[in-house]
């Protein structure tokens, strides 16, 4: 069985999180992904590499996760010879993905216009904070900057005085996910036109896109939404509730769910026709939440989850990582996989969420050592002989 993107070759110039995450997904889907690193290695190689809790044999959690299924070639792109090697790779590749700051690809002569002269069918993708054009594309941006600029932080948290970023880095991860969509769209279009093009991904654009219907609500009302914790701006009860063993969520989004919950918890204050529809429940939402917390606190989470599920009321435990990562559904879906180290040891990490019915081979090779594949890629793919490779190493062009 082959993977869906088998036959596609990607040159991965990314670093940190947003770009490497997108390239990782493409690699998981079968694209031959050659990580082109500077001679000192991509920056995340150093992150947590010596942390006793978050590293494995000198490789930190970032690098070992984000660079599975990739090869490593170390080239000095700032040298004339190194750039020539990169252009040779571009001639035999389909996609070049990077997340340098705006303007850097042009300075390095690895932007779309430069690479299209080398290979007219090449697709380039950049993931930047603000995109490649407009009045202010050159501002530096990282995950929290994107979350703040995009508006999402203003509605996250419990009140307007304490804006909070999302617990997972959705600014970075959103950029990586949209990069995958853009690259795959460009590949499909190329089958029709035979031409490459540039995919311009802005982390800010991605955050604005994910505001979705809430942005439309703002334009309709003219009102800025505010943080409401884990509750909902329309549905009641819809919140996090404390049991005597932890927290669960209940999401009553229809009146039928409310009636089922009413029968289950047997709270006398709920026996009011006013609450049969949403407007009445919304009016007294604080009381409803308070009474639910009183009753739910009398039993543990498992007790209530079984009762709620039996009544088909949407609910879930608020899992810690240790609980989420051993969930039987998560394990069944192969969403916890073995992450190998090139030295032979291994740990575990998240799997690939894209499941295909026919080409769903799920294999994961170890994140590579620096320049681990330089000789093989230059020799087998570019037909460089051993003497050329040795000379390039002596000149400090490759590792």
Q: How far apart are the first and last CA of the chain?
A: 34
The residues carrying an active-site annotation are 172
Q: CA–CA separation, 78 vs 109, rounded Å?
A: 9
pTM for the structure as a whole: 0.96
List the pLDDT tens digit at each of the 399 positions of the chain: 789 999 999 999 999 999 999 999 999 999 999 999 999 999 999 999 999 999 999 999 999 999 999 999 999 999 999 999 999 999 999 999 999 999 999 999 999 999 999 999 999 999 999 999 999 999 999 999 999 999 999 999 999 999 999 999 999 999 999 999 999 999 999 999 999 999 999 999 999 999 999 999 999 999 999 999 999 999 999 999 999 999 999 999 999 999 999 999 999 999 999 999 999 999 999 999 999 999 999 999 999 999 999 999 999 999 999 999 999 999 999 999 999 999 999 999 999 999 999 999 999 999 999 999 999 999 999 999 999 999 999 999 999
Cα–chain-centroid distance for residue 35?
A: 18
Q: The dihedral of CA 347, 349, 352, 353: what is its sign?
A: positive
DSSP β-ladder status, 238-242 and 247-251: antiparallel
pLDDT for the residue 23: 98
Cα–chain-centroid distance for residue 62?
A: 13
pLDDT for the residue 2: 87
Which residues partner with 251 through β-bridges? 238
């Amino acid at each position: 069985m082959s993977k869906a993107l088998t036959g596609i070759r990607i040159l991965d110039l990314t670093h940190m999180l947003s770009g490497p995450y997108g390239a990782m997904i493409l690699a998981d889907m079968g694209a031959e992904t050659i990580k082109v690193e500077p001679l000192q290695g991509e920056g995340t190689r150093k992150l947590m590499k010596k942390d006793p809790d978050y590293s494995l044999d000198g490789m930190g959690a970032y690098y070992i996760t984000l660079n599975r299924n990739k090869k490593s070639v170390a080239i000095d792109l700032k040298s004339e010879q190194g750039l020539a090697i990169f252009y040779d790779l571009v001639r035999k590749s389909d996609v070049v993905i990077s997340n340098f700051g705006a303007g850097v690809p042009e300075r390095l002569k690895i932007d779309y216009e430069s690479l299209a002269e080398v290979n007219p069918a090449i697709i380039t993708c950049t993931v930047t904070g603000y995109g490649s054009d407009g009045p202010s594309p050159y501002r530096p941006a990282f995950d929290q900057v994107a979350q703040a600029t995009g508006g999402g932080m203003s509605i996250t948290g419990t009140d307007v005085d304490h804006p909070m970023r999302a617990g997972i880095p959705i600014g970075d991860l959103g950029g990586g996910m949209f990069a995958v969509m853009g690259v795959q769209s460009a590949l499909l279009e190329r089958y029709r036109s035979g031409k490459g093009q540039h995919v311009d991904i802005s982390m800010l654009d991605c955050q604005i896109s994910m505001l979705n219907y809430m942005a439309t609500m703002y334009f309709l009302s003219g009102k800025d939404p505010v943080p409401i914790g884990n509750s909902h701006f329309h549905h009641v009860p819809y919140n996090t509730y404390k049991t005597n063993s932890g927290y669960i969520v209940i999401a009553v989004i229809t009146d039928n769910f409310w009636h089922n919950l009413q029968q289950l918890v047997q709270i006398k204050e709920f026996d009011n026709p006013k609450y049969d529809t949403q407007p009445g429940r919304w009016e007294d939402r604080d009381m409803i939440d308070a009474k639910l917390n009183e009753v739910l606190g009398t039993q543990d989470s498992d007790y209530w989850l079984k009762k709620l599920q039996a009544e088909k009321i949407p609910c879930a435990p608020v899992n810690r990582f240790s609980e989420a990562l051993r969930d039987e559904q998560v394990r069944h879906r192969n969403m916890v996989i073995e992450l190998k180290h090139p030295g032979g040891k291994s740990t575990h990490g998240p799997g690939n969420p894209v499941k295909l019915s026919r080409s769903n081979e799920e294999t994961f090779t170890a994140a590579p050592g620096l320049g681990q594949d330089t000789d093989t890629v230059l020799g087998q793919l570019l037909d460089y002989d051993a003497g050329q490779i040795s000379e390039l190493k002596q000149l400090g062009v490759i590792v």
